[in-house]
Chains A and B, each alone.
Chain A
């Protein structure tokens, strides 16, 4: 687990980069973007979860992603768990 505070901006940037790598358009990714609108499915979210684990030591599992619909919700979840 990370001991330093994880900033919202840093998490957003990391997730946005991961989603871009997965094929989403970078300029369409905002905290309010829904995963559906970005054509991000459950397999993509597992990959995003792996990047988050790698970068922040925070585990985001299948059950978590069932309850999140937007990029901002995942950012909040990561920041909360990292603190």
Chain B
């Protein structure tokens, strides 16, 4: 990367609780945020983060993003009014399905009471860019702002897009990440109808008994900043985005290409940009959805992209404890990856017990200290693959 991209703040709301550090701590201790086959952010109360009026006017996916962004901006030192040079601060927040709950509620009003009863808030609540727009508005960030839509790869693609904006000198900092809340009846029925979600309600990525993903809601937001910008204002750095690789399967609208070729290319692009050999990778935060197909193809892809190194390093899935947060997943997982690299810990794939033939990586049944190739730094990959054939991989580093 030409301009170095550092992370100066992170925030998250997940089924494990409110806060990025809370998520990592509880995950490392083996706690799960999943209950009755879903990952709900039960500890999140919107009016603790915004006025009653703002809460009324926003879909839950936007509310989660507002809370996560507040935490990230506070850590980055930008919580007290707009940052200086706000015109050089962008806001790119992804989502998979946007305000799908608001679509459903709007349709309920239309069907039951007629067009006159449809709320004027339906559009500003359902639009996929509502999280980006509301976060920018709230913090008066006036640089480039939009959403990114690439299904379950969206959170990672947003971070990659934000990094590119800084590299191209379109911005000095970007508030970026992903947000999702699709635990409503329409979304649940639609994903179940595809056969994507787990009938057992158990998320067990890479385990022989896995039977689909468990839906989760949440948001993850990071403040990315040009290294020189953070240095100039003397702000501490949490880590660095050193590579982003993206590709498309162009194979099937929902199924991954069986050889994993698209994923392999995305992983290689991320490593190339980081200037790293596979031997320098210490940890992989897998996409690991707990679907039969993803976990098999991802395992093959990691082996092809990293060679022998794939079998020597911990590979774990955050989805084992928060479920699949769709468009938030890539962002939440990048955040906990960075935190884990900082703490030099390999968090676990909770529920992984039974090995399946061919799925022979180290899936980390219990958390343990992370060994690093270089004593000075820890390097990790965070995978995200989405319906539509989108593959996005981030390479992250913590000193």
Contact = CB atoms under 8 A, between A and B. Distances in A.
Contact of B121 (A39, A43, A53, A54): A43
Interface residues of B, number: 11
Contacts of A50: 116-117, 119
Contacts of B119: 47, 50
**Contact residues of A: prevailing secondary structure:** helix
Contact of A47 (B51, B52, B120, B124): B120
B56 interface: yes
B347 to A, nearest CB: 40
**Contact residues of B: prevailing secondary structure:** helix
Interface in B317-356: none
B116 A23 contact: no
Contacts of B57: 43
A63 to B, nearest CB: 15
A50 B120 CA distance: 10
Nearest to A40: B53
Contact of A43 (B52, B117, B120): B120
A46 B52 CA distance: 18
Interface in A12-59: 22-23, 39, 43, 46-47, 50, 53-54
B63 to A, nearest CB: 15
B53 A39 contact: yes
B28 to A, nearest CB: 40
A53 B52 CA distance: 24
Contact of A23 (B51, B117, B120, B124): B51
Interface of B: 51-53, 56-57, 116-117, 119-121, 124
Given A22-B56, A46-B120, A47-B120, 17 more contacts: A22-B53, A23-B51, A23-B52, A23-B53, A23-B56, A39-B53, A43-B57, A43-B120, A43-B121, A43-B124, A47-B119, A47-B121, A50-B116, A50-B117, A50-B119, A53-B116, A54-B117
11 contacts: A22-B53, A23-B51, A23-B52, A23-B56, A39-B53, A43-B57, A43-B120, A43-B121, A43-B124, A50-B116, A53-B116
